[in-house]
Amino acid sequence: MAEIIGVIGGTGLTELEGLQILEYQEVETPFGAPSSSITWGNLHGCRLAFISRHGNPHRIPPHEVNYRANIWALKHVGVSKIIGVNAVGGIHGSMGPAHVVIPDQLIDYTWGRPSTFFEGDLEHVTHIDFSFPYDKDLRQVLCDCAGKVRAPYSDFGVYGATQGPRLETAAEIKRLERDGCDIVGMTGMPEAVLAAELEIPYACLSLVVNWAAGKTTEIITMADIENAIADGMGHVRAILAEALPVLQ
Ligand code: HPA
């Protein structure tokens, strides 16, 4: 039977263009409601389950997203892989606006977010291995497809996950850079670890929508971010369209 791919869309990807919508499913979870109903659809003949991370309309800030409910709901409806799409700031010199990064590592700077399923009334304490937070095979497919559709992309990158919702200071970005981060975003964690805890292969398509704070002399404006989303989200859609048939 064909596998079901889960896609979590972020800023700029509240809906999937070209998605033939079959049904909306409300899922209740032990952790409350997911950010949106699950949209069941066909994209170029492939079945997928889509959640809009910030809700539709876009209203839930990154630190208030119910990551546990989103991942639990996707597992519950039977997805076998998850692709998280997110908007990020570029730190690495080659990762400017409209560039797509398929990160291979992350550093978590978030705090106060419920970030595990393994707490509360447990039978035993569980520590999962998280050495390599993104699924190797899923990343490989995304990288191959990015190459095929000629998207400007990088097949490596350390994702620094910050708390938000404010953007960073220039000094914070310097610190992230010293730590080895190549891109910075607010939603990469705990999404990745929750997928790992439920043993769902997970990878990200990160679209750079601005240079990170202090990387240029300009301040970061929402207008610039919106322009970069308009320029770059087409690449993300093209990669998804190419990747989905390969993944099923
Ligand atoms: N920092 C954190 N998150 C982001 C940024 C940024 O510069 N751009 C888009 N999401």
Residue of the nearest CA to atom 10 in ligand 1?
88
23 Cα: distance to centroid of ligand 1 (angstroms): 32
Reply yes or no on whether the pLDDT at 155 is more than 90. Answer: yes
Give the 3-state secondary structure percentages of the chain, helix then strand then coil, rounded to 5: 30, 25, 50
Question: Number of folded domains in the chain?
Answer: 1
Reply yes or no on whether the pLDDT at 112 is more than 90. Answer: yes
- Any residues with Cβ below 6 Å from ligand 1, and which? 87-89, 162, 167-168, 184-186, 209-210, 212
Q: Could you tell which of 210, 224, 229, 236 is best to mutate to test the pocket of ligand 1, judged by most ligand atoms within 8 Å of the CB?
A: 210
Tell me how crowded residue 55 is: count the other CB atoms within 10 A of its CB. 17
Q: Could you tell which of 168, 186, 219 is best to mutate to test the pocket of ligand 1, judged by most ligand atoms within 8 Å of the CB?
A: 186
CB 142 within 8 A of CB 83: yes
Lowest mean pLDDT among 47-51, 69-73, 102-106, 167-171: 47-51
139 Cα: distance to centroid of ligand 1 (angstroms): 22
179 Cα: distance to centroid of ligand 1 (angstroms): 17
Q: What is the mean pLDDT of residues 140-158?
A: 98
Which pLDDT band holds residue 1 (cuts at 50, 70, 90)? low
CATH of the domain at 138: 3.40.50.1580
201 Cα: distance to centroid of ligand 1 (angstroms): 24
| Minimum-distance ligand 1 atom for the alpha carbon of 167 | 1
Q: What DSSP letter does each residue of 62-93 carry, written as one string?
A: GGG--HHHHHHHHHHTT-SEEEEEEEEEE-ST
Q: What is the mean pLDDT of residues 203-230?
A: 94
Per-residue pLDDT, 121: 81
**Residue 172 three-state SS:** helix
Distance of CA 83 to the CA centre of its chain: 7
CB 107 within 8 A of CB 130: no
**pLDDT tens track for 23-63:** 999 999 999 999 999 999 988 778 899 999 999 888 899 99
DSSP 176: H
**pLDDT tens track for 91-104:** 999 999 999 999 99
| Minimum-distance ligand 1 atom for the alpha carbon of 210 | 8
Residue of the nearest CA to atom 6 in ligand 1?
89
Reply yes or no on whether the pLDDT at 167 is more than 80. Answer: yes
> Could you give the count of Cα atoms lying within 13 Å of 107 in the half-sphere of its Cβ?
15
What range does the domain containing 115 cover?
A: 4-247
Reply yes or no on whether the pLDDT at 188 is more than 90. Answer: yes
| Minimum-distance ligand 1 atom for the alpha carbon of 168 | 1
Residue of the nearest CA to atom 9 in ligand 1?
88
> Could you give the count of Cα atoms lying within 13 Å of 99 in the half-sphere of its Cβ?
22
CA distances (Å), 242 to each of 8, 145, 208, in order?
A: 17, 6, 20
Lowest mean pLDDT among 60-69, 134-143, 221-230: 221-230
Per-residue pLDDT, 109: 98
Reply yes or no on whether the pLDDT at 6 is more than 90. Answer: yes
Task: Give, for 237, the enclosing helix (H) or strand (E).
Answer: helix 222-247
| Minimum-distance ligand 1 atom for the alpha carbon of 220 | 7
Overall residue count recorded for the chain in this entry: 248
Residue the block writes with tokens 């997805």:
79
Reply yes or no on whether the pLDDT at 18 is more than 80. Answer: no
Q: What is the mean pLDDT of residues 160-171?
A: 97
Per-residue pLDDT, 123: 83
Mean pLDDT across the chain:
94
